[in-house]
Amino acid sequence: MAKSVVEIKNLSKIFQRDSFSVAALESIDLDVKEGEFLCLMGPSGSGKTTLLNIIAGIDRPTGGELHVLGEDIATLSEDALATWRNVHVGFVFQTFNLIPVLTAYENVELPLLLTKLSAAERKEHVLMALKLVGLADRIDHYPRQLSGGQEQRVAIARAIVTDPTLVVADEPTGDLDAYSADEVLDILSRLNRDFKKTILMVTHDPRAAHHATVVRHLEKGQLLPVEN
């Protein structure tokens, strides 16, 4: 039986807005197995992105238990959490979020600057990642010189260049046309299928959900039971 990558028990997240408390997540229980392609769906404001951020270690829960890759990441310091993210998690955002002054190559190389790899080793990793997303011929292009789909593929290359166990994608097709969205989803499916990456994806798009192995729905901060 596959081991758990994400184990969540009774997790909650409460945002303080002036004198009001807003519960973004309540009593969340979730178990994501290694090699799963989990799709989180739900209406706007249901807490999908908040849950994804907490699992990826860029936000912290207010209560409950959270273990990702066996680590209680809620207790890690900022610096330890940063290192943990660099090693274990790859991010893909809706708006691509590439650094505009860096080329495709330099954007993908960015997470590797924090490792002990030599320049030659970094180059090998970067070229491999860009080749995997079909952009080996665009290494010197700046984000403004790429189409939206190409930018998102560079972002995926950046997410996988450190060979993380977990790839999190927040609405990765939200800003793309249908053709580019299919390209991006195909790449994510290949990463899951061929490279055994565990993928957590938040989306509104029902077509995107078809690529997932597991689909869960969130509503008003609560995870709905698994549909059979």
Choice from 14, 23, 76, 110 touching other proteins (CB under 8 A): 110
Rg (CA), the chain: 17
| Nearest-approach distance from CB 25 to other proteins, in angstroms | 13
- Residue 175 CA to residue 96 CA, distance in Å, equals 9
The residue among 18 and 79 lying less far from other proteins, judged by its C-beta, is 79
Contact stretch for other proteins (CB under 8 A) within 3-11, 54-62, 133-141, 190-198: 54-62
Pick the closer one to other proteins by CB: 23 or 102: 102
**199, two tokens:** 């993928």
Handedness of CA 201, 202, 205, 209 (dihedral sign): positive
Beta strands 198-203 and 20-33: pairing type?
unpaired
Paired with 65 in beta bridges are: 9
Lookup result for tokens 């010197």: 140
Nearer to other proteins, 100 or 225 (CB): 100
Verify binding: residue 79, other proteins, rule CB under 8 A: yes
Residues that bind other proteins (CB under 8 A): 49-50, 53, 56, 58-59, 78-79, 82-83, 85-87, 91, 93, 97, 99-102, 110-111, 113-114, 158, 162
